[in-house]
Amino acid sequence: MAETTTKTAAGRKVKFVITRRERPEASSFTEEFEVPYRPNMNVISALMEIQRNPVKADGGSTSPVCWESNCLEEVCGACSMVINGKPRQACSTLIDKLEQPIRLEPMSTFPVVRDLVINRERMFGALKKVKAWIPIDGTYDLGPGPRMAESKRQWAYELSKCMTCGVCLEACPNVNDRNSFIGPASISQVRLFNAHPTGEMNAHERLDALMEEGGIEGCGNSQNCVRSCPKGIPLTTSIAAMNKDTTKHLFKKWLGM
């Protein structure tokens, strides 16, 4: 069994190896840090300690490490990074569960802004492409909207848990800088909004977007996405459902229906 910090004695340190980059066009490099261990620490609390005292393990001073976080309770998705080779949320990753040294890297699917901060514009652009919203502007009263059947609401709620963390895109081998595949998150959101009683009015537009270059045909069925999703969203089920719906939509267009 690999040694973890669970049995760390008083006065021991938690070791980190962090991949850093000063600016987008600069080369990456690594720096090592040691942080005093405390029970129930998460990765974010360790990064806060490094920010408070930016001194490397060899005693040399350095600049504070940059990262993103917001909610600190696995809701916002901002603190996604690669931790010991696995894309995940830093706020919910406990030090006691990790091997040392703990290696932190930015997600490679997205452009690096600085250190562990990435630009997730690719994912947000994909959500815009598939119109992942309900197009009601709220400027006038339309009255109560149609109700969703309980059987449909239950699985739609699971899809709504997506926090745009980007972990599924990082885990997907088909999302890279060599193609324009929109990734599993956006495909699942098409299923969510097409199931909405109001959103289904624009279902054909979302399906058209999935049939364009970089759409659903880019999925290689590796199923890494569903295994890596922090929220346990049934992404492969959504992809299969949208494959079926886009095929039906294509035949209807051919038949002029």
Kindly state the tokens that stand for 72.
């600190």
Q: Specify whether 113 is located in the same domain as 141.
A: no
What is the per-residue pLDDT across 26-53, written as a single tens digit (0 to 9) for each?
A: 999 999 999 999 999 999 999 999 999 9
Range of the domain at 9: 5-118
The residue from 58, 92, 118 where one domain ends is 118
Indicate the pLDDT class of residue 135, thresholds 50, 70 and 90: confident
What's this model's pTM, rounded to 2 decimal places? 0.89
The residue from 118, 141, 166 where one domain ends is 118
Q: Specify whether 199 is located in the same domain as 250.
A: yes
Contact call for residues 148 and 162 (beta carbons, < 8 A): no
Q: Specify whether 125 is located in the same domain as 226.
A: yes
Indicate the pLDDT class of residue 9, thresholds 50, 70 and 90: low
What does the angle CA 202 – CA 206 – CA 212 come to, to the nearest 5 degrees? 145
Q: Count up the domains in the chain and report the number.
A: 2
Q: Specify whether 132 is located in the same domain as 248.
A: yes
The residue from 67, 102, 118 where one domain ends is 118
What is the per-residue pLDDT across 154-186, written as a single tens digit (0 to 9) for each?
A: 999 999 999 999 999 999 999 999 999 999 999
C-alpha of 2 from chain center: 28
Collect all residues with Cβ–Cβ distance below 8 Å to 67 and sequence separation of at least 6: 44, 47, 79, 81, 90, 115, 116, 117
Q: Specify whether 152 is located in the same domain as 206.
A: yes
Residue 235's nearest CA partner among 224, 222, 223, 226 is 226
